[in-house]
Each structure stands twice: as structure tokens, then as C-alpha cells.
Amino acid sequence: MVFNTGSALLDAIVLAVVSRDSEGTYGYRITQDVRTVIELSESTLYPVLRRLQKDECLTVYDREFGGRNRRYYKITEKGLAQLKLYDEEWRSYAKKVTYLFDGGSTNE
């Protein structure tokens, strides 16, 4: 992608991915799902997950998988509210940008 991905957009994408599974999902799966829309390394993802956890948008729990623990991330009510705000902001922003790309003018 040629456009920079700011922290708010990255937070929104991660929250959207995590919210799709009511039981939560694990880091590697989140990375793979996010990569379907933007390029992202695991070293970039984990600070985002920690920040969202610190902000109480995600909770974390461990589950045994293949003889070892796997860390799962689950969206909280606060995270769902934040995701809803991001969704509304994104739709408004995308609509305005699309309008300009389609030849609209901001001076009308």
C-alpha cells in the first residue's frame, strides 16, 4: 500500500479483526488477517496489541495448544465502542475521499 497507516487506522483494523471471533484470536492469526489489507510484521503488531490491552479495548488469556500456551486476544465492551467510533469515522472519511476522487469539489 502506498498510503501510510497511522496508529488509529491500525488500531481500528486490529479491533475489527479481533471482533470477528467472540472467543478471541491469537497473534499469528491476527497478523495473517491484517495482512489481507495492509503489510504488517509481527514486530509491529504486538505493540499495538499491548496498547489496546492497556487501553482496556482487549483482554488477554492463554490457552493450551499443541503442548504449549497460546495467547488469545478478545475485544471488550470498551473495544467494541471504540471500534464503532472508528467505523463511523472511517466511513465518513472514505466517503469524502471517494467524492474527491470521483471529481467532486470541496468548494461546492
The CATH architecture annotation of domain 7-99 reads Orthogonal Bundle (1.10)
Cα–Cα distance for residue pair 49/25, rounded to 1 Å: 12
User: pLDDT truncated to tens, each residue of the chain (108 aa)?
Assistant: 667 778 999 999 999 999 999 999 999 999 999 999 998 888 889 999 999 999 999 999 999 888 899 999 999 999 999 999 999 999 999 999 999 999 887 665
Yes or no: say if 53 and 73 are a contact pair by the CB < 8 Å rule.
yes
Q: What per-residue confidence (pLDDT) applies to 62?
A: 94
Q: Is 73 helix (H, G, I), strand (E, B) or coil?
A: strand
Name the pTM for this structure.
0.88
Q: What per-residue confidence (pLDDT) applies to 1?
A: 62
Cα–Cα distance for residue pair 74/22, rounded to 1 Å: 7
